[in-house]
Structure 1
């Protein structure tokens, strides 16, 4: 039986193998977050409309599009949500183990643009120091800002 499966697998090389693998394995969304800082070290926090009212503050975040590099997700999401341009830095967080998603976070530095909020998603934006985060900031985002994620 193993030999037959091996022969069959070798016979379908190429795109068909990828299709079989795609059907056989789990599907995940990838949530990508940017720890966006300015030249002074302040962090960009956003008050998100769709987040729980008791914890609306957090970093720019969104889901990667199919085939999109995660660094480009940060550039796109920050631009869409705030109008700012960023240069993406190092990976600071990668976490799996969720049923439907993977979390990724990168450092990012503002390099241009002007603050213009997407008022459908974002209610307010603030530049804050890591020691002056507003009440209602997501705990996981506090940890990303302070470099204490597990």
Structure 2
């Protein structure tokens, strides 16, 4: 089955999610239902990315096993769940995806991102942390999400095959910061 053409999430609101009334103006921000007065602002969702370093200061990159970005490289991470702090989400995502436990984390940067899944694009704000783990041994990837990992200093081949531009930008920033320290 062919995937639908990508559309911004606000265009997917053909009907009010509260009362079901037809939306005469799909794509408007905020969504405002003239029938029940419900409003939805389409604010960005939060996501975290972990730049996990081993004791040799190599970065952990992971290959995605599913779309979006199947077979491309990325960083451990994901969306922040409701009721969860950013730091809790970071620790949870790294543990779920790699079975590694964070021992240190420091916010490196934030940035906007767009995430397209099943033809709908949502705005995201990514928060990237440089992290250390209790032990870099015994990585066990979540096979439903990831299919390979590598400890490395990412090169042009990896950077050119990233699933998400925001991950590439974060790695490039980490590389620039690292090279300034030399």
| Both proteins in one fold, TM over 0.5 | yes
- What is the DSSP-based 3-state SS (H/G/I as helix, E as strand, rest coil) of the residue aligned with 2:96? helix
**Higher RCO (CA < 8 A, seq sep 6+):** 1
Following superposition, the deviation at residue 147 of structure 1 comes to: 1.6
Following superposition, the deviation at residue 97 of structure 1 comes to: 8.0
- Structure 2 residue runs of 5 or longer lacking an equivalent are 1-38, 115-121, 177-182
Which of these residues, 101, 111, 119, is aligned with residue 85 of structure 1? 101
Change (3 A) 1:126 1:31: same
**Deviation digits for residues 29-54 of structure 1 (CA, Å, limit 9, x no counterpart):** 2111111111111000000122334x
Cα distance in 2 between the residues matched to 1:87 and 1:133: 30
TM-score by length of 2: 0.59
- Kindly indicate which of the two structures has a greater share of residues assigned to helix: 1
- 1:119 matched to which residue of 2? 143
Q: Does 1:146 align with 2:172?
A: yes
Following superposition, the deviation at residue 68 of structure 1 comes to: 0.9
- What is the DSSP-based 3-state SS (H/G/I as helix, E as strand, rest coil) of the residue aligned with 1:136? coil
Contact between 2:50 and 2:130, CA under 8 Å: does it hold in 1? yes
- Structure 1 residue runs of 5 or longer lacking an equivalent are 1-22
Which of these residues, 30, 35, 41, is aligned with residue 46 of structure 2? 30
Corresponding pairs, count: 127
Alignment of 1:34-73 (within 5 A): 34-50=50-66, 51-53=68-70, 56-73=72-89
Range moving further from structure 2, 132-141 or 112-121: 132-141
Cα distance in 2 between the residues matched to 1:82 and 1:24: 35
**Deviation digits for residues 1-46 of structure 1 (CA, Å, limit 9, x no counterpart):** xxxxxxxxxxxxxxxxxxxxxx675443211111111111100000
- 1:12 matched to which residue of 2? none
Following superposition, the deviation at residue 102 of structure 1 comes to: 1.5
Change (3 A) 1:28 1:90: same
